[in-house]
Structure 1
Amino acid sequence: MKLNNGRQLGMILVIIAALGAAGSAAVAVGASPSQLPGFRWASSAPLISPPANAGPDFYGVKDPSVVYHDGKYHVFMTTATGKGWGLAYTSFKEWKDAPRVPIVGLENSPMGPGYRAAPQVFYFAPQKLWYLIYQGGDPLYSTSRDISDPTSWTAPAPFFKTVPEVVKQANGQPAWLDFWNICDERNCYLFFTGDNGNFYRAETPLAQFPNGFHNTTRVMQGKRDDIFEASNTYRIAGTKSYLTLIEAISPKGRYFRAWKSDGLAGEWEPPTPDAMNIFADSDNVRFDGRAWSEGVSHGEMIRSTSDQTLTIDPCKPLRFLYQGLDMAKGKSYEYIQLPYRLGLITATGSNPVSRMCKK
């Protein structure tokens, strides 16, 4: 079509813009799930890193768990050092302060030194106690009455007296890690993975927690790289739905997949029609400046509550604290030496969780 003057061109551009706006509104209101947008994210720079004065044997910080309580964010993490794996703590009022606050190891508490990794922290309201769940080979927990005191955590205690048969490998050794507890009105559920394509669940009545875990069941099974590790599960406020995230592996790095369910003991299904129901990966995370992280690895949502229900608010922008791998080009690393740092991704635009908002 030939345009005779600038006025015609301007009218056409206005019409195109109007059609685009109308199309966007149609997608937002009445589109099929395959037409609705999935998750999109914007990442911060690294926020929590090994202290500058810690020396070359402090390799990385990993596996964050975070709650907001009493005006502060409280972050627990795995530390990777020349001495092995341990747990540490930091706190701050605002995320902009995170790079400057000290990181304190928990080995000087009654928890003691030794192999500790992959923490999860929450407040168990029925007992008025903070719980820190972690792996020390088997699933362990410690408790505290003061989350801000890193010396207050009790000695490790096990969840299971014996290893459930379903998690034993052919050689008799268990394959279980990255333990995660969440409770509803009646029961508490301990979810975990096995680095082998299996996703498990055990349960106990709310009144018996942390004792009595039983009925350990394989919830999902797939390829090793598709259901790998670092599961985390949340209640979505104002709904009857729950969200589970599980870390997977691709040629581009680690990433997270998402599933939803109407009950913690129910079946899990993808919240989007994407082939791999992607939550966060190297393709849907935008960096302002250098893309410092290879993929999105072990992390946790910023919750709207600190209690055992692990609730997230779909009416507020989702935020996810994750471990990012900031490797130097051409350098090789032992696994414990991988330079993991903690960063924050914030959801941008509509996504399967935000569309559950009832406001």
Structure 2
Amino acid sequence: MRWSSSGVLAGPRQDASHNDIAAIKDFTVVRHNGEWQVYATTASPSKGWNLAHFAFPDWAQAANARHTFLDTASDVGPGYRAAPHLFYFEPQKLWYLVYQTGLPSYSVSSDPSDPTSWSAPRHFMSSVPPIVEQNMGNGSWLDFWVICDTADCHLFSSDDNGHIYRSQTSLANFPNGFGNTVIALQDSNRFNLFEGTAVYKVGNTNEYLLLQEAIGSGGRRWYRSFTSGSLSGPWNALHASESNPFARSNNVTFPSGTPSWTQDFSHGELLRTNNDQTLTIDPCRLRFLYQGMDPSAGGDYIRLPWRMGLLTQTNPTC
């Protein structure tokens, strides 16, 4: 894998009631109504984690887009909300915004370009599954991701402790009935399977691509990839080592005139070919929206200056 990165495309914006946002991160994106609709986590030392929306027709306009904060503008409301994931659930003709509140949560809307339209949070599950409690150690259950095939919907999640979990319900029963939680992938080194799980259907094939964020030997964030012929697994390593990564500082270049503004390639999403629950990607035209930050930054996690960037694959195989 080889990538070319944009410069910083967008950073945090403030308003009177959101005046200390240090970062914007955990981007989810769809193309709808002629614009890129982006939802993201905001990090505020005074308010904690919440969600924001911004939209723009072209990437060059992202930095100037207006930010709408869901804690005050919608029924999503205040409190801990983070790591959004947006898709259109075609059987119900509804948009779902999946996010974490301590539990896997979601809101629904008929129009993702209207950030005021989201419903109050509901939970996919009312408690942490025993298998997660038994394995997450000092980690946290987070980064929830929904993808469906023709029969079932699958809820993937991470624990910052070397495990990826998968829960399941039928397509007809979604969003209810998630259970049967299993460990989809695990590693004795928790930094190898840390967080940020994302799963996609690969074009018109029966293959699936799983991406997982890792923390590398130098402490920098990077992405590994795995493939399977089924959402139930098993998952086989594809680009999964520091010398052969999916996305890492050693396989990303910055074009002439673009500063090498980050060495972290963290919590991202591939741009999809559709918006529905199959989460389909074009393997011949991979683009990855990610969070990066100034390599010299440090300190409290909630103060880290995450910003938005876009990777474009430069060596597609088709």
Instruction: Normalising by structure 2, report the TM-score.
Output: 0.93
| Offset of residue 271 of structure 1 | 2.3
Unaligned residue ranges in structure 2 (runs of 5+): none
**283-292 or 267-276: which moved more?**
267-276
Instruction: Give the direction of change, closer, same or farther, for the CA distance of 1:272–1:336 in structure 2 (3 Å limit).
Output: closer
Distance 1:117 1:111 in 2: 11
The percentage of counterpart residues that share the same residue type is 49
Contact 1:143 1:153 in 2 (8 A): yes
Where do residues 230-249 of structure 1 align in structure 2 (5 Å cutoff)? 230-249=196-215
- 1:104 matched to 2:75: no
1:16 aligned residue: none
CA distance in 1, matches of 2:260, 2:203: 32
User: Are 1:295 and 1:325, in contact at CA under 8 Å, matched by a contact in 2?
Assistant: yes
State the partner residue of 2:263.
294
1:306 aligns with 2:275: yes
Cα offset for 1:161?
A: 2.7
Structure 1 residue aligned with 2:315: 349
* Deviations 1:195-253 (CA, angstroms, capped at 9, x unpaired): 00001100000000000001100011101010000010000112110000000001151
- Contact 1:259–1:277 (CA under 8 A) maintained in structure 2: no
TM-superposed CA distance for 1:345, in Å, is: 0.5
Equivalent residue, structure 2, for 1:334? 300
> Partner letter of residue 312 of structure 1?
I
**Distance apart, 1:51 and its partner CA:** 2.1
Distance, in Å, in 2 between the alignment partners of 1:194 and 1:276 is 25
* Distance (Å, rounded) in 1 between the aligned partners of 2:239 and 2:125: 36
Measure how far apart 1:172 and its partner are. Answer: 9.0
Aligned to 1:36: none
Query: How far apart, CA to CA, are the structure 2 residues paired with 1:191 and 1:127?
Result: 21
Q: 1:42 aligns to what?
A: 4
1: distance between equivalents of 2:54 and 2:95? 16
TM-aligned CA deviation for residue 53 of structure 1: 7.0
Whole-angstrom CA distance in 2 between matches of 1:53 and 1:142: 24
Q: In the TM superposition, what is the alpha-carbon distance from 1:174 to its structure 2 partner? A: 8.0
Bigger shift: 276-285 or 130-139? Answer: 276-285
CA distance in 1 between partners of 2:27 and 2:117 (Å): 19
Higher CA-based Rg: 1
Alignment match, 1:28: none
Question: Which whole-Å deviations, capped at 9, do the CAs of 1:308-334 have from their partners, x for residues lacking one?
Answer: 00000123x21000000125x3x6421
Change (3 A) 1:171 1:182: closer
Number of the residue aligned with 2:168: 203
Contact 2:224 2:239 in 1 (8 A): no
Structure 2 CA distance for aligned equivalents of residues 193 and 133 of structure 1: 14
Aligned length: 311
Question: Cα RMSD between the aligned structures?
Answer: 2.0
SS in 2 for 1:96: helix
Aligned to 1:58: 21
SS at match of 2:172: helix
Are 1:144 and 2:109 an aligned pair? yes
Deviation at 1:171, TM superposition (A): 9.7
- Offset from partner CA, 1:80-119 (integer Å, 9 cap, x none): 1131110000111111111111111011211111110000
> Whole-Å Cα distance in 2 between the matches of residues 302 and 170 of structure 1?
32
CA displacement at 1:273 relative to structure 2 = 8.1
Q: What are the equivalent positions in structure 2 for 1:157-172 lying under 5 Å apart?
A: 157-169=122-134
CA contact (8 A) 1:270 1:277 kept: no
Distance in 2 of aligned mates of 1:104 and 1:293: 26
Report which stretch shifted further, 266-275 or 94-103: 266-275
Determine the structure 2 residue equivalent to 1:94.
58
| Offset from partner CA, 1:246-279 (integer Å, 9 cap, x none) | 0000115100000000110121002258577510
8 Å contact 2:38–2:54 — kept in the other structure? yes
The yes-or-no answer on 1:78 pairing with 2:47 is: no
Cα distance in 2 for partners of 1:273, 1:307 equals 27
User: In structure 2, how many angstroms separate the alpha carbons of the residues matched to 1:68 and 1:273?
Assistant: 29
Give the direction of change, closer, same or farther, for the CA distance of 1:294–1:56 in structure 2 (3 Å limit): farther
Instruction: Using the TM superposition, give the Cα deviation of residue 148 of structure 1 relative to its aligned residue in structure 2, in angstroms.
Output: 1.1
Q: Aligned in 2, Cα 1:242/1:172: closer, same or farther, shift over 3 Å?
A: closer
* Separation in 2, partners of 1:63, 1:164: 24
2:293 corresponds to 1:325 = yes
Instruction: List aligned pairs for 1:129-140, cutoff 5 A.
Output: 129-140=94-105
Pairwise CA distance, 1:162: 2.9
Q: TM-score, normalised by structure 1?
A: 0.82
Distance apart, 1:52 and its partner CA: 6.9
Give the Cα–Cα distance (whole angstroms) in 1 for the partners of residues 292 and 136 of structure 2: 33
Unaligned runs of 5+ in 1: 1-38
